[in-house]
Amino acid sequence: MLQSEFCNVELDRIRYSLVWEDGRSLAAALNVGPADHVLVVTSAGCNVLNALLLHPRRVTATDLNPAQSRLLRLKRHLIRYHDHHALRGLLGLDGPAGVAATWRQLAPALPPGLRAAWAPFFAAHPGGILTAGKLESYVTGFYPTLPPATRAALRRLVQCESVAEQAAFFAAHLHGPAFEQQFTTYFDAANLSQGRDPRLFRYAGEAGGATFYHRLGRAVATQLLRDNFFFRFFFFGPTDLPEAILPPCYQRRHFATLRQSLPRLTIRTGEAVDFLLSPAGADVTKASLSNIFEYVSPEEFRRCCGQLFARAAPLRLVFWNLLQNQGAEAAGLPLVPEAAGPASPDACFYFRNLRVLDSGRQPVLAPAQHAYHA
């Protein structure tokens, strides 16, 4: 089993109600085809559903946390038996009033067990699914702490029509000691534990608040933020978002395709690497491992990669780095260098990078080996 700090935290609630790794990066990294069996770490289920939209032969979702599996099963039920409006409403995309109205309409039609299981959840989380996770409730709590003028400036930032315009506006109206200090303090190591268990930062190579602020500045200079779902959700929550920038699985235009694809989905609870190394996972050809290597030592990461790429079956996988930089020392890894580095323009600003490994690639040689063969 993967020796991860995530195995040491209590899995008693929904920790993630949104998948922060964007679906476009996943699609580009894995290049899914109709013969592929895709494994996806469940988390909130967004990328499981996005993977179904890539038309693979099969998708298996797995997560150590049973609460994440239950969340995906709820979404699967909504997609299978109800309309897009019901899914959108319970996600919280139409605000608390939309959540309440949708639940009132939907609850009587749910199977009794499902209704009993989720009624307390929606009573406790009137904003809906997307803001209910431990991480998401913490992240979306930042904006209300800001002074009115700062909140207004952030709103104005996402009205900019070009990257150059928004960079100039950010420099003139936001970037400075006050906003930087507010951001850095809220997301520093001490406060970040409100969103993630402190044990999950055991191997972090960088500090949270200062690092995330630097990455925010990088995004301002390179991405048009009005079109970035994750930036807008991070600061403003799930309402007032244009349909076109939502994760593909939550867009109305993909709903019918998603419903037709559900028979290809299997949901299980368990550790992803264990599954990949098991007989049941032997025919998985593509895998999205979220940021599970964030919570392991560099030595454990290399041990795990050695096991995964000793399998007989071909395997291509993608994972994301946050405060670690796993795979930076690529020697011995079948790294796909052209797919590594920053993610797509749709990506969340707070990630460091993503890495793609593919058993079809020759492992990168250590420098001494390069010299020897030269």
Task: Judge whether 211 lies within some domain.
Answer: yes
pTM, entire model: 0.93
Average predicted confidence (pLDDT) for the chain? 90
Task: Judge whether 155 lies within some domain.
Answer: yes
Model pLDDT, residue 326: 93
Q: Considering only 9-18, 141-150, 303-312, 338-347, which range has the smallest mean pLDDT?
A: 338-347
Domain range for 159 is 138-245
pLDDT-based confidence at 345, cuts 50/70/90? confident
Q: From 197, 264, 232, 273, select the one nearest 41 (Cα to Cα).
A: 273
pLDDT-based confidence at 2, cuts 50/70/90? confident
6, pLDDT greater than 60:
no
What is the DSSP track for 131-147? GTSHHHHHHTTSGGGS-
pLDDT-based confidence at 206, cuts 50/70/90? low
pLDDT-based confidence at 192, cuts 50/70/90? low
DSSP label at 36? -
pLDDT-based confidence at 329, cuts 50/70/90? confident
Task: Judge whether 147 lies within some domain.
Answer: yes
**pLDDT tens per residue across span 217-260:** 999 999 999 999 999 999 999 999 999 999 999 999 999 999 99
Task: Judge whether 56 lies within some domain.
Answer: no
11, pLDDT greater than 90:
no
For range 317-345, the mean pLDDT = 83
Model pLDDT, residue 346: 86
The angle subtended at Cα 27 by Cα 37 and Cα 354, nearest 5°, is 105
DSSP label at 365? P
Task: Judge whether 204 lies within some domain.
Answer: yes
Buried b (16+ CB within 10 A) or exposed e, 237-259: bbbebeeebbbbbbbeebbeebb
pLDDT-based confidence at 371, cuts 50/70/90? very low
Task: Judge whether 162 lies within some domain.
Answer: yes
Report percent pLDDT > 70 for the chain. Answer: 88
Residue 119 one-letter amino acid: A
Ranges 7-21, 86-100, 179-193, 315-329, most confident? 86-100
pLDDT-based confidence at 193, cuts 50/70/90? low
For range 282-298, the mean pLDDT = 94
Model pLDDT, residue 199: 60
**pLDDT tens per residue across span 50-88:** 999 999 999 999 999 999 999 999 999 999 999 999 999
CB-CB contact of 39 with 60 (8 Å): yes
Q: Which residue has the higher pLDDT, 121 or 204?
A: 121
For range 340-366, the mean pLDDT = 81
What whole-number distance in Å separates Cα of residue 284 and Cα of residue 261?
A: 18
For range 93-118, the mean pLDDT = 97
For range 195-223, the mean pLDDT = 79
Task: Judge whether 99 lies within some domain.
Answer: no
For range 134-143, the mean pLDDT = 95
Extract the tokens encoding 145.
């702490």
318, pLDDT greater than 90:
yes
Model pLDDT, residue 330: 74
Task: Judge whether 200 lies within some domain.
Answer: yes
Q: How many domains does the chain have?
A: 1
266, pLDDT greater than 70:
yes
